[in-house]
Structure formats: structure tokens, C-alpha cells
Structure 1
Amino acid sequence: MRIRFDYYPNGKRKALTMSYDDGQVYDRKLVEIFNKYGIKGTFNLNSGVFDSEPYVSKEEIKKLYEGHEVAVHTVDHPYLTLISKEELVYQIMEDRKNLEALVGYQVRGMAYPFGDYSHALAKELKSFGIEYSRTVNSTRSFRIPNDFLEWHPTCHHDQDVIEKLNDFKNVPAWEQMPLFYVWGHSFEFERNGNWELIEEFCKMASFDEDVWYATNIEIVNYINALKSLKFSADGSIVYNPSAIPVWIGVDGEAVKIDSGETKLLK
């Protein structure tokens, strides 16, 4: 019996996630496009600039980003490797507190301001309740990260994203759990006058029955649940201790393991 981690929720083989920074008013149009095509996004916000131009207001955040994810981008967007430990605690924890008060759920993700990070900094984030953090280093690949606290995206939306989407649609069968991760800033579409780029991307990417459209934290939750599965020595019995169902490959077929379920696989 061959057991592999091959599947996302509902037996889907691939996943797409989007990540956009800074929370400028152009997020309103971007969210509208995402919602139109069923795309999920994570929005990394600086709570210290709310209610000032050209940023979104506190009052609209919960409704605007409903169905998506809000994540930390620090209070004031500093270079995190160039501040004191005390300031680091403030920038992350205060942003978490401010965002959680607005959206009403735990904020557990982040994107590094300016993409500035170090291995040492990444290791500290768990103590702040941060479970993943995105860099700006494009991998051009569809691989799941080894360390979610140094989560390198596939590409920025200006890096031939339509061509990369075609690669994603035709990814080889041997590629295990392909994940397409696109990042950027909504103001770039306004500045560059190319809103049609993200509209076309979302249209082309949408409503694919083989793709799971997820926020960053949903990806993290699922992969962690998958890795938490407990198998018997011969692999014939599996127990899912997590709070969500997962799907695994058993001899090439998708098998669902419900939350709390112990399942005999043969």
C-alpha cells in the first residue's frame, strides 16, 4: 500500500493563494475582482496608517476583507532587522492587537515589510503568535515551503504571471501538491495602469475544479493538519488529531480522514 500526501481539501490536486500588502484604497477594487472570480487573498496591513490617505479606514476593514484574510505587516512598516528588540515586539504585537480588534479573529500570519528578514528574525516570530511570514523572494516554483516563517512566493504579479499560470495549469503529474503563490501591492495596478492584468489572471485562474482557492492561513492550517496525522507502524491505520478533515493518497486514490477519526486503510 502506497500512502502519499497528494491532496488538498476535497481531493483537489493544486492550490492557489494571493498575498497583497499595505492596505491602500486600491484594495477595494482588487477585492471586488477576487470576489467576482472566487479567488482568495491575504491582505497584510499596517494599522498605524489607517484613516490617512491613501489607506483604507478602520471602519471598512471587517466588511472589505470578509471571506479573505487579514495579516500583520507591522504598525509602521519599518525594516525589521534594523530596529531594537523592544520596537520589534511593539511593531508586531501592536499590529496584531489592532487588527484582531477590527476583524474579530486571531491574526496569525504576516508579511515582512520591504521583504527585510533574517533567519534569526524568522525564528523569533513564533513567540509573537505568528505562524507564517512571507518574503519577497520569488521561487518561480510551485513547491510548498519547508519553513512557513520564511515563505517564499512563486512570483510577483509583474513577473510574467499569465505565463506562470499556464505552467501551473499544465504542471506535470509527478509534481506533489503544487501551490501557486502570487504577491504584490494593489496600488501597482493603479500606478502602472494595468488593472486588466489581474482581471485577466483571475478570470483565467477561476473556477478550476482541480484547484483549491485559499488564503495563506488556510494553506498553513491544512498542511500542518496533514503533517500531524498519526500512522500505525505498517501504515494501515491512521488517526487525525487535528480539528479539520484532510485527504491523503492511498494507492493513487484520494481518501478523506475526518477530524478526530481513526481510519483503517486496508
Structure 2
Amino acid sequence: MANVQLTFPEGKHKVLTMSYDDGRSADRRLVRTLNQHGIRGTFHLNSGLAGHHDRIPLEEVKNLYQGHEIAAHSVTHPTLTRCTREQIVGELMEDRKSLERISGYPVRGFSYPNGTFNRQMQEILPHLGIAYARTVLSHGDFQMPDDYFAWHPTCHHNQNLLELTEAFKQLGRRQHLHMLYVWGHSYEFDHDNNWDVIERFCESVSGRDDIWYATNIEIVDYLRRYQSLRFSAGMDLVYNPSYHSIWLEANGEVIEVKGGSQIELVK
């Protein structure tokens, strides 16, 4: 029987993703910095506040965040744990609708406004077309998410980011998949006068052939497509019913399972 394990695309075992909230004007500089280094991430926006008080106008959203993920953050940024179920539904669905009209694709990501969440919200979100929800509860580790609706990041960019990045880069053992997940608000770089932190971070971590640079939703979709693979009882065959490739490591060999294909794992 083959020893089969999931890998990230092209056999990589590390992934980097970024997550920034509120859609403030400083996103322009942040996006330029990420783009210069080939780093990709997710931007959680409040459609009802767009264009007001230093926030990116909706008409600019599609072009600015091209190559990154546009995700929901509620229409007006209320503390949703204090809201009725009806208001939660309205805040999420109306935010999705507005952002989808601009982006041109289904908006399925979410981060909890004001960082608050509870079991009721976690249970509602899948029924509203949301695939994951990020918290602000940083764990300082490189673990993969256990619960997509309580997805805890590695760190805020002010929490030992450069030290954690060096530790992440040094991870060489392939027994586990590792994720560096950084979150924050771009306006904090202006307030704290520390744009050098994110610039040094990007220079340090970019262009590495052992890291997959992905958006939040790309990670979720990739992991879920892995769960959809159909293996034979003897683990010698695998069929991929999805459209996209999934990479596996079978007995130490990296194998690409292309969408719609069936391949032998043991030859």
C-alpha cells in the first residue's frame, strides 16, 4: 500500500498568505509592495463604507486588488455578536452582493469585524455562501487550520513578524505542511511609522521555490479539493473529480493528479 500524503502545488510543503481588513487608502501602498515581490493575499472590505473616511472607493476595488482576493467584512463593520440573526444575514449577504458586482466573481471569504465571533455566527456562515472566516487570535505557529470558520492567523505584522519569518524559512522537514499567515490593517503602517517592517518581510520571504504564495480562498479550495479525491481501497489508484490539479507525495515521489484524471500511485 502506498504511503500517500498531500502536498501544496508542485510538491511544496509551505504556504504564505496575507489578510488585511477595512480597505483603507494605505492598501494602495501595501498592494504595490506585495505585487513587487510576488506575494498574494486577501483584502476584507466593508462595501457600505467604501469611499468614505479614507476608504478605497468601490470603483477602484477591482483594479487595485487584481491578483489578490476580495473578501467580505460586513457592510458597515458592526460587532456582529451583538446583532440579531437577521442583521447578521443582511450584513453578510449585502456585502457579498456589492463586492461581487465589482469583482466579477463569487465572494466567499470573510473576516470577523472587530474580531468577535461565536458559535451562532460560525453556524450561519456556511449557509450564506461563506467558505471561511478569519479571527484575530494569533497563535504564533505555522499550523494548518482545523476549523475554517475559526481560522486563526500566525501573527499580526507587529507580532515578531521578521523573527517568525526566519523560523518559517528554516522549516525543512516535510513531515508536515506549514503555513505562515499574516494579518493586519494597512493604515497601521502609517500610524506606527513602520512600513519598513512589511518591506523587509517581503524582501526576505519572496521568490522562494519551497513556498506557495496564495490567497486565503485558494488555500481553502485546494484543501477541499484534496478531500474530494477518490482513492482505491488498496491506495494504488486515485481519481481527481475536480477541474484543478492536486499534488501528492506517494512513497516519497511527488505526483501531480490533474483534474478529471485517474492515475496509478504504485507502479
Q: Which residue of 2 aligns with 1:137?
A: 137
CA RMSD of aligned residues (A): 1.0
- Is residue 96–residue 107 contact of structure 1 (8 Å, CA) maintained in 2? yes
Deviation at 1:115, TM superposition (A): 1.1
Aligned AA (2:35): N
Which structure 2 residues correspond to residues 182-197 of structure 1 after superposition, within 5 A? 182-197=182-197
Aligned AA (2:161): V
Q: Which residue of 1 aligns with 2:23?
A: 23
TM-score when normalising by structure 1:
0.98
Aligned AA (1:224): R
What is the number of residues matched between the two proteins? 266
- Answer with 67-76 or 140-149: which moved more: 140-149
Taking the aligned partners of 2:26 and 2:3, their CA distance within structure 1 comes to 45
**What per-residue deviation string (whole Å, max 9, x for no partner) do you get for residues 196-251 of structure 1?**
10000011010000100000000011011111111111100111112210001101
- Is residue 22–residue 73 contact of structure 1 (8 Å, CA) maintained in 2? yes
**Runs of 4+ more than 6 Å apart:** none
Which structure 2 residues correspond to residues 163-242 of structure 1 after superposition, within 5 A? 163-242=163-242
Query: Where in structure 2 are there 5+ consecutive unaligned residues?
Result: none
**What per-residue deviation string (whole Å, max 9, x for no partner) do you get for residues 32-66 of structure 1?**
00000000010000011111121001111000000
Deviation at 1:176, TM superposition (A): 1.1
Taking the aligned partners of 1:4 and 1:164, their CA distance within structure 2 comes to 29
Query: Where in structure 1 are there 5+ consecutive unaligned residues?
Result: none
Taking the aligned partners of 1:232 and 1:4, their CA distance within structure 2 comes to 12
Q: Which residue of 2 aligns with 1:124?
A: 124
TM-score when normalising by structure 2:
0.97
Deviation at 1:175, TM superposition (A): 4.5
Q: % of aligned pairs identical? A: 46
Taking the aligned partners of 2:158 and 2:168, their CA distance within structure 1 comes to 16
- Is residue 50–residue 56 contact of structure 1 (8 Å, CA) maintained in 2? yes
Q: Which residue of 2 aligns with 1:5?
A: 5
Deviation at 1:83, TM superposition (A): 0.3
Taking the aligned partners of 1:3 and 1:244, their CA distance within structure 2 comes to 22
Q: Which residue of 2 aligns with 1:115?
A: 115
